[in-house]
Chain A
Amino acid sequence: MANIMIRKGDKGYVFYMPKRDIEDSIVSMEFDTPEKWGGEIRLGNGGAYFIEPQAAPARLPYSVRAKRLDGVE
């Protein structure tokens, strides 16, 4: 589990992990509706993380705990 920050970029969501200074684009997010948001996210670098599905945050950027599923670092 690690803290990540999700923000809105020009081309959709951007992933950032402060601890390792990793910034990357989020290419897909399992749930992206106001009621249910999160789940499995896939990054531009091939990595995958899991965010406990929850109501979409009121505003971005938003810091949340995420679990690494797969991929680089």
Chain B
Amino acid sequence: MAALTREETEALVQEVLEVYPEKAKKDRAKHLMINDVALESSKKCITSNRKSLPGVMTMRGCAYAGSKGVVWGPIKDMISISHGPIGCGQYARGGRRNYYVGTTGVDTFCEINFTSDFQEKDIVFGGDKKLAKVINEIELLFPLNKGISVQSECPVGLIGDDIEAVSKKSAAEIGKPVVPVRCEGFRGVSQSLGHHIANDSVRDWILSNRDGQPFAKTPYDVAILGDYNIGGDAWASRILLEEMGLRVVAQWSGDGTLAEMENTPNVKLNLLHCYRSMNYISRHMEEKYSIPWLEYNFFGPTKIKESLRKIAAFFDDKIKEGAERVIEKYTKASDAIIAKYRPRLEGKKVMLYVGGLRPRHVVGAYEDLGMEVVGTGYEFAHNDDYDRTIKDMGDATLIYDDATGHELDEFVKAMKPDLIGSGIKEKYVFHKMGYPFRQMHSWDYSGPYHGYDGFAVFAKDMDLTLNNPCWKMLTPPWKKAA
């Protein structure tokens, strides 16, 4: 059951679009759809991965954010230089809470902002010399780094610096990989292209480094791809895989290392959590190394159970039994969680607007708690994401691509969800409107949400937020009597 009927939802979309000028209205209409679970392909119903309209408030990030912030940043023993002015790196530092084990500043570096800090003279005379100097300084001050990546910010592309040449020369000097990444923010329409560029640079500069070297393989080697260990997500996933008898060779890239990435071509199966940000490298490994890849979903017991069985199907009976054992062991605990929280959350409606995988992946976890997702959408998805979303969402629910500030506000006002899950840019607006809100990019400083352990935290967080009495006491500032 959706919050509104199909007709009502259609009317709502028309009403919301009303304020736009004719051309914008036509364009935005293509990005909104009312779900029909019978569809196989989203192509005809929703347009995605297009340039945002000038003048609307979009929530998207840039290609640099996708590369440095998402894919490269969490590799803990590599140093990612934010090459360009200082701001991009400073605001992208540690915001995603990619947990890792290590001593920051000694052998791990995720939380430190390394930047070439461009000044006017670097723009005028070029920044290549400075980059070489930065790399040498890093090597001197942080000798335990395993490699360096150069994450280009906008100006680097505009002035035409040759970071590839500098990287090659420096790599030879320091005897470690130095990876130039052409992820200038102006490329593409959103952070999505940054993921792609980052994947391609991993492919070109890292992945085949150890080809032909001996590696003690087992038949149960797997790699976790597209898990950034936000609040410990990858750890909560990894223990389940290990308990069922698999050996996790690499984590990409949350709490991951360069060596792990270089060893990945040896695995039997790539497990892909965030399809959007790492399908590229999975496809490449499938073609080059014949490693199959499998999308899985570790949100909520129903999906976990399905995923564990899907994963086990790739292996022998030992692993299949292992999966059943894991499911049995944790089902009791997750049943207890559901028994505790479901009565408090049953029938509540949720609206989501997030990034890569969550708008569809968390639907199952909400359903386990008896809640219903009535609207969902992605900042930077492509059509293949929507193809996958149609099946996870209920009929006649609302799906929005690259939603604008205005659209989100109006949808929320009309659909009156009991809980909103979205990002930091949306958070305070909805707080002021008195809506229970969870920041679903970094789990609102909580987590993990993956795996059975994560589900316990997830359920508790949703209850704490939704049933918090404070929301009813809020009057938005614009509704207060002057």
Contact = CB atoms under 8 A, between A and B. Distances in A.
Contacts, number: 39
A21 B49 contact: yes
Contacts of B41: 24-25, 44-45
Interface string B433-452: 00000000000000000000
B384 interface: yes
B292 to A, nearest CB: 10
A7 interface: yes
Interface in A27-51: 44-46
Nearest to B195: A21
Contacts of B382: 21-23
Interface of B: 40-41, 43, 49, 192, 196, 280, 283, 286-287, 290, 382-384, 387
A7 B283 contact: yes
A23 B384 contact: yes
A18 B287 contact: no
A63 interface: yes
Contact of B280 (A18, A45, A46): A18
A72 B44 CA distance: 10
A7 B384 contact: no
A16 B286 CA distance: 13
Contact of B196 (A21, A22, A46, A62): A21
B280 A61 contact: no
Contacts of A22: 382-384
B43 A61 contact: no
Nearest to B285: A61
Contacts of A59: 290
Interface residues of A, number: 17
A23 B382 CA distance: 9
Interface centre among B43, B384, B387 (most CB of A within 10 A): B43
A23 B276 CA distance: 12
Given A21-B49, A21-B196, A21-B382, A16 B283 contact: yes
Nearest to A11: B40
Contact of B40 (A5, A44, A46): A44
A7 B49 contact: no
Given A21-B196, A72-B43, A5 B384 contact: no
A22 B280 CA distance: 11
17 contacts: A5-B283, A5-B287, A7-B286, A16-B283, A18-B283, A21-B192, A22-B382, A22-B383, A23-B382, A23-B384, A24-B43, A24-B384, A44-B41, A44-B43, A59-B290, A61-B286, A61-B287
